[in-house]
Amino acid sequence: MPTYKPAPKGRDHLFTKATSNTHSFLLEVDGHRIGRFTAVSGLKMQVEVESYAEGGNNGFEHKFPGRVTWENLVFKRGVTEDNNLFNWFDITVGSGFDKNKNVLDRSTCAVTMLSATGKRLRSWNIIDAFPVRWTGPDFSADAEEVPVEELEVAHHGFTVTKP
């Protein structure tokens, strides 16, 4: 069964080089650093609004907060030599799911914004997360773009913390 590989002691392959002079984003799953990303989207939450029209009151409708919805998170980065994203995805589907007796193990994740020097600036703790889509790179001999992989993660919400 695939597992996450923490960085070897004394050598953190996720931080050997900054990807640019801008921020990057670290994904940790159940305390293990499994990837550094150039883009993360989906840190959004929305409250559905329930309306109630009161009889005899034509001036307005009452508005009440309803269910909170959370978008899936999408992580993007250039392809690397490590398979942690694909391995985490593989645990939740197919034979990995079968080996776990068809029980989905949800994870606690942290998304941390890093400075160009690797300093932790802000974190989001993701509750009950599991991967729902992994997309590998499109290959073309003529392409000048860096090959990119994406991981989409469903979850039950997040909290914001300072590291």
Residue 17 inside a domain? The answer is: no
Domain with residue 61: its CATH number is 2.30.110
Residue 151 has pLDDT above 90, yes or no: yes
What pLDDT digit, counting tens, does each position of 3-19 carry?
555 555 444 444 444 44
- The domain tally of the chain equals 1
Distances (CA, A) of 118 to 12, 18, 20, 36, 63: 11, 7, 11, 10, 44
For residue 102, give its domain range.
24-161
In a domain, 67, yes or no: yes
Cβ neighbours around 111 below 10 Å, total: 22
Summarize pLDDT for 65-113 with one digit per residue, the tens.
999 999 999 999 988 888 888 888 888 877 778 888 888 889 999 999 9
pLDDT at residue 93, as a whole number: 79
